[in-house]
Amino acid sequence: METSEELKQILESITGGFFALDRLFRFTYWNKAAEEGTGLLREEVLGKNVFEVFPNAKGADIGEKYRIAMETSTFQSIETSYKDDRFEAWYDIRIYPTESGISVFFQDITEQKRQQRQKEMLLE
């Protein structure tokens, strides 16, 4: 099996969402877990700019983290919420610089945030 095919199988088997962006912030990869976690099919995102697909990210902290990772080639991470007319969720996001752009792993942590909020309310 060739290395790129092995890599694709790994990225498709992980439970977390994964996508890759080129230097122009265009999607070059979108795994099955990303589809399941957002409801967006890879055909809907590949080749498009991340801020076109997720317009509310542009002026938000996550958009800034993407930019910093891209410009400085440094790892970035953030826990943040994202909301638009399609969905609303909390995510734990890890951004890794690559030679061709950035690679992004994300986990939906909405349920953990909900449980944390409930515990905090009980303690008040």
Residue pLDDT, tens place only, 41-72 = 999 999 999 999 999 998 899 999 999 999 99
What is the pTM (predicted TM-score) of this model? 0.88
Helix (H) or strand (E) holding 34: helix 32-38
Tell me: pLDDT of 36 over 90. Answer: yes
Q: Top-level CATH class of 3-123?
A: alpha beta
* Residue 1's pLDDT band (cuts 50, 70, 90): low
Angle value at C-alpha 90, between 86 and 93, nearest 5 degrees? 110
Tokens found for residue 63: 């958009």
CA pair distance 89, 51, nearest whole angstrom: 17
Burial string for 43-55 (b: 16+ CB within 10 Å, else e) reads eebeeebbeebbe
* Residue 90's pLDDT band (cuts 50, 70, 90): very high
CA pair distance 15, 37, nearest whole angstrom: 10
* Residue 123's pLDDT band (cuts 50, 70, 90): confident
Tell me: pLDDT of 19 over 80. Answer: yes
For the chain, the structural domain boundaries read 3-123
State mean pLDDT over 115-121. 87
pLDDT recorded at residue 87:
83
